């Protein structure tokens, strides 16, 4: 999945790479939560046995999802809504970062141009000083003769 800014930008990175980089930059460690007895209180005993027979909740196949109770489906829908909200928030952050990066590149190129112009200006000033010194020396030599 790509954000609008990445779709229109030639240098946009895939969304997953940006999200991974953002998480790593923030120092967030990935944690894997297994089902615990406290979390299972709201799920019926049959669903619990079904999940444990086929592995933890995040790894069960689609056929198992069809057998799960309404509460688990509601949790999955809530997870989807939360992920969509986070994705939307991150998309705005990514768009802002892309705009800031473009401004930073423009500022950098302007700084290089100013540095080049400043260097050329100093060369011009030094040349004019040398010309004036040469003219003064010629006039002094002309006066002494």
pLDDT tens, the chain, 145 aa long: 445 554 445 455 566 666 666 666 555 444 444 444 444 444 444 555 555 555 544 454 555 555 556 667 778 888 888 888 888 889 889 989 999 999 999 999 999 999 999 999 999 999 999 999 999 999 988 888 7
Q: What is the pLDDT of residue 92?
A: 87
- Please, are residues 3 and 94 in contact by the beta-carbon 8 Å criterion? yes
- Specify the pLDDT at position 20: 64
Assigned domain for 14 exists: yes
Q: Give the integer Cα–Cα distance in Å for 69 and 12.
A: 41
Q: What DSSP string describes 56-93?
A: -GGG--HHHHHHS-HHHHHHHHHHHHHHHHHHHHHHHH
Query: So what's the pLDDT on residue 77?
Result: 83
Q: Give residue 71's pLDDT.
A: 67
Tokens of 1: 């999945």
pTM of the model: 0.37
The answer as to whether 15 is a domain residue is yes
Evaluate whether residue 43 is within a structural domain. Answer: no
What's residue 25's pLDDT?
A: 58
Residue 86 lies in a domain: yes
Query: Is residue 12 a part of any domain in this protein?
Result: yes
Count of structural domains, the chain: 1
Residue 8 belongs to domain spanning: 4-31+69-109
In this structure, is residue 74 part of a structural domain? yes
Confirm whether 122 is domain-assigned: no
pLDDT at 129: 94
Residues 6+ apart with CB under 8 A from 65: 72, 73, 76
Cα–Cα distance measured from residue 35 to residue 56, given in angstroms and rounded to the nearest whole number: 7
| Assigned domain for 85 exists | yes
**Cα dihedral value 13, 93, 78, 62, nearest 10:** 0
């Amino acid at each position: 999945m790509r954000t609008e800014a990445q779709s229109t930008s030639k240098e946009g990175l895939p969304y997953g790479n940006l999200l991974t980089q953002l998480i790593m930059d923030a120092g967030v460690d990935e944690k894997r939560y297994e089902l615990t007895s406290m979390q299972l209180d709201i799920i019926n005993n049959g669903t619990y046995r079904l999940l444990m027979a086929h592995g933890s909740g995040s790894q069960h196949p689609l056929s198992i999802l069809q057998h799960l109770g309404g509460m688990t489906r509601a949790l999955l829908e809530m997870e989807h809504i939360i992920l969509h909200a986070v994705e939307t928030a991150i998309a705005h952050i990514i768009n802002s970062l892309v705009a800031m990066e473009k401004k930073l590149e423009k500022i950098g190129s302007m700084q290089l141009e100013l540095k080049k112009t400043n260097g050329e200006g100093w060369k011009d000033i030094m040349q004019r000083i040398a010309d004036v010194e040469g003219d003064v020396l010629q006039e002094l030599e002309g006066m002494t003769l």
